C-alpha cells in the first residue's frame, strides 16, 4: 500500500503539538525507545497519511458507481452532515484515549508493555492529527457555520468526561486498563475504520488504510501482554489474577458495545450510513461480528490459561478440557468455569442501545428489584470502578427509571459530566489552541487566534 504523507498548515500542526505537550508529556520518550523496541519499523511521523489507491467510485448505497466526493459540497447535504459527525467523533476518540492512557502509563510493570502502549498513544495522536487534517483541508461551510479553527479548538478542549463517546470518559484505574482497553476498545476502532474505508468521501476513505495498519499494532499491544498474564495467573502468580483481568474485560466490553451506536434488534441504527455509502455495515451487523471476534480472543486466552494450569496434558487434551468447561459451565480436573474469562450478556450494564437501564444480569437473567440488579453488576466490576461517579450515575438512573421518576429516554440522554473547568490545557483560558498566523509566521505557542 503506497502512502502519501501530508502536513497541515503550521498553525494547525502547532495546535496539535501544543495539545501534546500538555496532555501527552511522555511522547518524547518514544524517540529514545524506538530503535530498541521497533528497530524494523520506520520512524514515527506526526503527519497525515493517505492511501493513493482507493476505489474512486462509490461502492455501495443509493449512489453506487458514481464518483466519490473530493470535497464536502459534492456530497448530498444529509451525507455531509453525517460524515462531519463521524470525523468529529473519531477525532474525539483519538485524543481521548491518549488522555486516558497517560494517567497510568508509568504503572506498567514491564518496560516492553510500557513502550508498546507509548507507541499506541503516539499513533493515536497521529490519527487525531489525521482527523484535524480532514477538517481543515477542505471547506465545510456547506454543512456547518463553524470555522475550521473553532472545530479544532472544540476537539482539543475536550477532556476525560466531555468526549463524544462514553468509553473515552472513563478514567483508567491501573495499567490493566491500558492493556484491556487496547485489546477491546481499539478493536471497536478497527471495526469503525474497516467499515469507513468504503466511504463515499474519498479523502476519508484514503485515510482509513494507514490507520488500520497502525490499529493492528494497537490490538497486539493488548492481546500479547494478556497472553503472558493469563499464563502467569495459571502458575499462581499472586500479582496477576484471572479475576482482575475478568473484571476489566467486563468494564470495557460493555462500553465498547455502545460505541457501535443504536444496536437494538430489528432497529435501523447505521442504515443511513450504509445507504449513503459511508459505511458497509449497519450497527447491529458490526456489533455481532465484534462480539464473535472478542469471544475468539477470550477463547485463545482461556486455552492458554488451561495449558499453563495443566502442563501435564498435551495441547489437544488441554484444549478439549477447555471446550468441556465452556460447554458444561462446571468444574473438571481442578479448573472451574468461573476461573476463566467470560463475556457478559450484551444487555448487561447498558446505558445506550439494547438493554439500556434495564435489569439484566451478567448471564442475561432478569431482576425485578433494582438493588439486586445493581449488586449483580457491582460484583462483576473492578473495585475502583465500582466507586466511580460513572457507576453511581448508572445505578441512580436505573432506580429512577424503574420507580417511574425518570423516563427511559431522559435516562439515556443523561451522562455524568466530568469535564474540568478551563479545558484540558493548563493555559486553555488564554490560548485558543490554533495560533494566528500574521505576516507569514506564528507569534509563538501562546499566540491567540482571536484578540
What's the pLDDT score for residue 420?
45
86-95 residue pLDDT tens: 999 999 999 9
What's the CA gap between 444 and 9, in Å, rounded?
Answer: 15
- The answer to whether residues 115 and 225 touch, using CB atoms and an 8 Å cutoff, is no
What's the CA gap between 171 and 312, in Å, rounded?
Answer: 41
Average pLDDT over residues 418-439: 45
What's the pLDDT score for residue 25?
96
Average pLDDT over residues 187-201: 96
* Structural domain contains residue 119: yes
- The answer to whether residues 432 and 148 touch, using CB atoms and an 8 Å cutoff, is no
SS3 154: helix
Which helix (H) or strand (E) segment is 102 a member of? helix 77-104
* Structural domain contains residue 374: no
Quick one: DSSP state of residue 106? G
* Structural domain contains residue 341: no
Total count of domains within the chain: 1
What's the CA gap between 36 and 34, in Å, rounded?
Answer: 5
Average pLDDT over residues 58-71: 97
What's the pLDDT score for residue 447?
30
Orientation angle between helical segments 283-309 and 315-328, nearest 10 degrees: 130
Confidence of residue 253 (pLDDT cuts 50, 70, 90): very high
What's the CA gap between 33 and 119, in Å, rounded?
Answer: 10
Which helix (H) or strand (E) segment is 401 a member of? helix 389-402
Average pLDDT over residues 274-295: 97
Average pLDDT over residues 363-384: 97
What's the CA gap between 56 and 43, in Å, rounded?
Answer: 30
* Structural domain contains residue 386: no
- The answer to whether residues 451 and 438 touch, using CB atoms and an 8 Å cutoff, is no
Any idea what the CATH number is for the domain that residue 262 is in? 1.10.620.20
What's the first-to-final CA gap in the chain, in angstroms?
Answer: 45
Angle at 196 between CA 129 and CA 144, to 5 degrees: 60
31-45 residue pLDDT tens: 999 999 999 999 999
φ and ψ at residue 138, rounded to 5 degrees:
-135, 165
**Mind giving me the DSSP string for 114-147?**
HHHHHHHHHHHHHHHHHHHHHHHSS--TTT-SS-
What's the pLDDT score for residue 442?
35
Cβ partners under 8 Å of residue 63, min gap 6: 76, 200, 276, 277
- The answer to whether residues 240 and 304 touch, using CB atoms and an 8 Å cutoff, is no
Q: Which residues pair with 442 in a beta bridge?
A: 437
Quick one: DSSP state of residue 167? G
* Structural domain contains residue 392: no
What's the CA gap between 431 and 446, in Å, rounded?
Answer: 6
What's the pLDDT score for residue 451?
24
* Structural domain contains residue 289: yes
Confidence of residue 421 (pLDDT cuts 50, 70, 90): very low
What's the pLDDT score for residue 417?
61
What's the CA gap between 189 and 286, in Å, rounded?
Answer: 11
* Structural domain contains residue 178: yes
Average pLDDT over residues 299-310: 98
Query: Three cell numbers at 232?
Result: 502467569
Among 92, 105, 223, 206, CA closest to 158: 92
Q: Which residues pair with 311 in a beta bridge?
A: none
What's the pLDDT score for residue 426?
54
What's the pLDDT score for residue 427?
53
Cβ partners under 8 Å of residue 287, min gap 6: 257, 260, 263, 346
Burial 441-450 (b: 16+ CB within 10 A, else e): ebeeeebebe
Residue found by looking up cell 510500557 in the block: 114
Among 40, 32, 136, CA closest to 88: 136
What's the pLDDT score for residue 439?
36
Q: What radius of gyration do the chain's Cα atoms show?
A: 23
What's the CA gap between 379 and 365, in Å, rounded?
Answer: 15
**Could you list the residue range(s) of the whole structural domain that residue 257 is in?**
3-302
* Structural domain contains residue 149: yes
Q: Is the per-residue pLDDT at 153 higher than 70?
A: yes
Q: Which residues pair with 3 in a beta bridge?
A: 51
Q: Is the per-residue pLDDT at 104 higher than 60?
A: yes
Average pLDDT over residues 319-327: 97
pTM for the whole thing? Answer: 0.92
Amino acid at each position: 500500500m503506497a502512502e502519501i504523507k501530508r502536513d497541515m498548515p503550521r498553525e494547525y500542526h502547532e495546535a496539535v503539538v501544543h495539545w501534546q505537550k500538555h496532555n501527552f508529556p511522555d511522547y518524547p520518550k518514544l524517540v529514545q525507545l524506538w530503535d530498541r523496541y521497533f528497530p524494523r519499523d520506520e520512524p514515527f511521523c506526526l503527519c497525515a497519511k493517505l492511501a493513493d489507491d482507493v476505489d474512486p467510485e462509490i461502492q455501495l448505497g443509493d449512489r453506487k458507481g458514481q464518483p466519490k466526493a473530493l470535497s464536502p459540497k459534492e456530497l448530498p447535504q444529509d451525507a455531509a452532515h453525517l460524515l462531519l459527525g463521524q470525523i468529529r467523533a473519531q477525532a474525539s476518540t483519538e485524543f481521548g484515549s491518549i488522555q486516558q492512557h497517560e494517567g497510568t502509563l508509568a504503572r506498567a510493570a514491564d518496560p516492553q508493555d510500557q513502550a508498546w502502549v507509548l507507541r499506541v498513544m503516539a499513533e493515536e495522536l497521529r490519527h487525531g492529527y489525521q482527523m484535524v487534517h480532514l477538517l481543515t483541508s477542505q471547506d465545510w461551510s456547506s454543512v456547518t457555520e463553524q470555522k475550521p479553527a473553532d472545530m479544532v479548538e472544540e476537539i482539543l478542549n475536550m477532556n476525560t468526561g466531555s468526549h463524544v463517546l462514553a468509553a473515552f470518559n472513563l478514567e483508567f484505574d491501573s495499567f490493566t486498563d491500558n492493556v484491556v482497553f487496547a485489546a477491546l476498545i481499539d478493536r471497536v476502532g478497527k471495526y469503525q475504520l474497516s467499515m469507513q474505508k468504503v466511504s463515499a468521501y474519498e479523502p476519508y476513505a484514503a485515510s482509513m488504510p494507514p490507520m488500520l495498519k497502525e490499529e493492528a499494532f494497537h490490538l497486539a499491544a493488548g492481546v500479547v501482554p494478556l497472553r503472558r498474564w493469563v499464563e502467569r495467573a495459571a502458575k499462581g502468580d499472586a500479582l496477576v489474577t484471572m479475576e482482575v483481568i475478568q473484571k476489566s474485560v467486563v468494564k470495557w466490553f460493555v462500553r465498547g458495545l455502545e460505541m457501535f451506536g443504536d444496536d437494538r434488534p430489528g432497529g435501523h441504527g447505521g442504515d443511513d450510513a450504509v445507504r449513503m455509502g459511508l459505511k458497509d455495515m449497519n450497527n447491529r451487523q458490526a456489533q455481532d461480528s465484534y462480539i464473535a471476534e472478542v469471544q475468539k480472543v477470550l477463547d485463545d486466552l482461556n486455552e492458554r490459561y488451561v495449558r499453563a494450569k495443566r502442563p501435564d496434558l498435551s495441547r489437544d487434551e488441554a484444549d478439549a478440557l477447555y471446550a468441556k468447561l465452556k460447554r458444561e459451565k462446571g468444574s473438571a480436573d481442578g479448573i472451574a468455569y468461573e476461573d476463566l474469562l467470560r463475556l457478559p450478556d450484551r444487555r448487561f450494564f447498558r446505558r445506550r442501545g439494547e438493554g439500556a437501564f434495564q435489569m439484566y444480569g451478567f448471564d442475561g437473567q432478569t431482576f425485578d428489584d433494582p438493588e439486586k440488579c445493581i449488586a449483580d453488576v457491582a460484583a462483576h466490576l473492578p473495585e475502583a470502578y465500582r466507586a466511580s461517579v460513572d457507576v453511581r450515575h448508572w445505578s441512580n438512573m436505573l432506580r429512577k427509571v424503574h420507580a417511574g421518576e425518570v423516563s427511559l429516554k431522559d435516562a439515556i440522554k443523561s451522562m455524568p459530566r466530568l469535564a474540568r473547568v478551563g479545558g484540558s490545557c493548563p493555559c486553555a483560558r488564554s490560548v485558543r489552541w490554533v495560533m494566528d498566523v500574521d505576516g507569514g509566521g506564528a507569534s509563538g505557542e501562546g499566540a491567540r487566534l482571536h484578540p
